[in-house]
Amino acid sequence: MQDAVLDQRFGSRRRTTVKRKLNSAIRKYWPSQQWTFKRRVPLTITVPVDLTLKRAYVVTASEAIEDILGCYNEDGYPLRAMPNDEFEAAFESLTTTGDPWAFTVYGSDGNLKIRFGPSPSAAKTLTLPYNASSPTLTADSDDLADYGWPKTHHELVVVDARISMSMDENDPTWRELEPERKRLLEAMIDALAEERGGENTSFGADTLGQEDYVWLL
pLDDT in tens, 25-81: 999 999 999 999 999 888 888 999 887 888 888 765 567 888 888 999 999 999 999
Q: What per-residue string of b and e applies to 173-191 under the rule 16 or more CB within 10 Å gives b?
A: ebeeeeebbeebbeebeee
- Please compute the mean of the pLDDT values over residues 135-147 and round it to a whole number: 93
Q: Name which of 153, 142, 161, 141 is nearest 37 in CA terms.
A: 153
Instruction: Choose among 138, 160, 174: nearest CA to 4.
Output: 160
Adjacency order of strands within the sheet including 214-216 = 80-81, 102-106, 113-117, 57-60, 214-216
Task: Give residue 85's pLDDT.
Answer: 96
> What pLDDT band is residue 125 in, cutting at 50, 70 and 90?
very high
| Residue 181 pLDDT | 97
Contacts 24+ apart (CB under 8 A), 117-121: 117/82, 117/87, 117/90, 117/91, 118/53, 118/91, 118/94, 119/50, 119/51, 119/52, 119/53, 119/54, 119/55, 119/91, 119/94, 120/47, 120/48, 120/49, 120/50, 121/49, 121/97
Going by pLDDT thresholds of 50, 70 and 90, the confidence category of residue 196 is low
Q: pLDDT tens across 142-185, in order?
A: 999 999 999 999 999 999 999 999 999 999 999 999 999 999 99
Number of other CB atoms surrounding residue 148 within 10 Å? 15
Per-residue pLDDT band at 23 (split at 50, 70, 90): very high
Question: Kind of pairing, strands 124-128 and 34-35?
Answer: unpaired
The β-bridge partners of 53 are: none
